[in-house]
Amino acid sequence: MHPHLAAADTAATPIVFVTPSDWEKAAQSFGNDALCYAKATGFEGKAGTVALLPGLGGSIDAVLFGADPASDPMAAGQLPGLLPDGTYRFSTKLKDDALATLAFLLGAYRFTAYKTKPAPRKLALVPGPNVDAADVARIASAITQGRNIINTPANDYGPAEIEDTIRRLASCFNASVCSIVGDDLLTHNYPMVHAVGRGSVRAPRLIDMTWGDPSHPKVTLVGKGVAFDTGGLNIKPDAAMLLMKKDMGGAATAIAAAEMIMAAKRKVRLRLIVPAVENSISGSSFRPGDILPSRKGITVEIGNTDAEGRLILGDALALADEEAPDLMLDFATLTGAARVALGPDLPPFYTESDALAAQIAASGDSVADPVWRMPLWKPYDSMLSSKIADVNHVSSGAFAGSITAALFLKRFVEKTAHYAHFDVFGWVPATKPGRPEGGEPQAARLVDRLVAERYGA
């Protein structure tokens, strides 16, 4: 049971969803004194506000919550920040009770690992009769894991700790894990992963987890695991480096999605691949102008060491593509250009398949985990040309940065039937319903729904 879920027979305070046009009627149903009290407090049913209607002995008889679930299915995620400790239940019939319950749990998340005396909360929700509490808890648990990964500072969470997380997850679901570390990356032909990570005292690695029946459709998730990104020799300015603990946000998304898939026992053969590095600065750091070999055999000219994520993903995607999975998805906090285009809340994704794009968009909409398709515009491929190598890994101009990064990655995928790349932000800059400020494994819930829709629940 999730810590913020209560048993169905637990006594609970009702929460009534109201709007400015109907809140008075809802308040009146609890008595005239309740209506008068709500008016006296200035409650008007506005979105994101609550009225705590008093009961006998100082108890709370009911909660009026200003929200329109039809327009914002995650609205209930605001409630943990508005309610005192207690046990509650939704008394309003909602379009999607399960999503509202999940929003409540996600909104209750707090990252307190580094608080010496974190303020304890005793806040719980009784799920409605039509809600599969175990399934909601499955999703909330995986999102919590993903958020914790991103929020943990880099001094305590490097490439080895990313591997530890994946190994702990594998042990819970009888999955197998192998890892290639340090100079062994060269022996096993992952030269770009090695080049990006060799400047750090924390050894780079390629982590490879498999789970499920080998006869089932193969689904592969690849996540960018840059534990911290200084920018390398093209060092970032201080303001741009402050949030770089989140540069493993792609790995966090892939790990969270993998946990959901395994916990739901989906009928797929799942593979999780995470190239994990720290892009640091030392005498052994790779340089602008270097030419790197790759697992695919493509030679890559380095235009900027701060575009390291696509390099490690290139080797990882080439590995994944070798077994031609039915579905391959990669996730990376890859470009600032994606944020300029679509902001922090709406990650772009890229695929050549119109059918897969439609499924991805529909899955995101159904679970309020939105994404937006962007084009793999082939004429821009010339922006990655190199005079001395097969390709430069960054664009020759200032435009279309997210598209050219996706075009670079596409070079490493040939055999996979269905492939999509997600350029996620991995962070919520200001608290929103169900999404507290901080790390967020964007698109993980979408992937869980997508896999269920494609391969059966």
Which residues are part of the catalytic machinery? 236, 310
Cα torsion through 156, 159, 165, 169, rounded to 10: 180
Alpha carbons 423 and 440: distance in angstroms, whole number: 13
| Strands, E assignment, 280-341 | 291-292, 300-301, 327-332
Instruction: Please give the C-alpha separations between residue 316 and each of 168, 217, 332, 413, in angstroms, as whole numbers.
Output: 21, 20, 12, 10
Give the chain's largest Cα–Cα span.
81
Alpha carbons 28 and 454: distance in angstroms, whole number: 47
Structure-token pair, residue 47? 């979105």
Dihedrals φ, ψ of 428, to 5°?
A: -110, 110
Q: Which of 253, 263, 102 is nearest to 169 (CA)?
A: 263
User: Mapping DSSP to helix (H, G, I), strand (E, B) and coil, where does residue 173 land?
Assistant: coil
Q: Which amino acid is residue 58, in one-letter code? A: G
Q: Which amino acid is residue 396, in one-letter code? A: S
Q: Which of 39, 100, 112 is nearest to 70 (CA)?
A: 100
DSSP summary character for residue 176: E
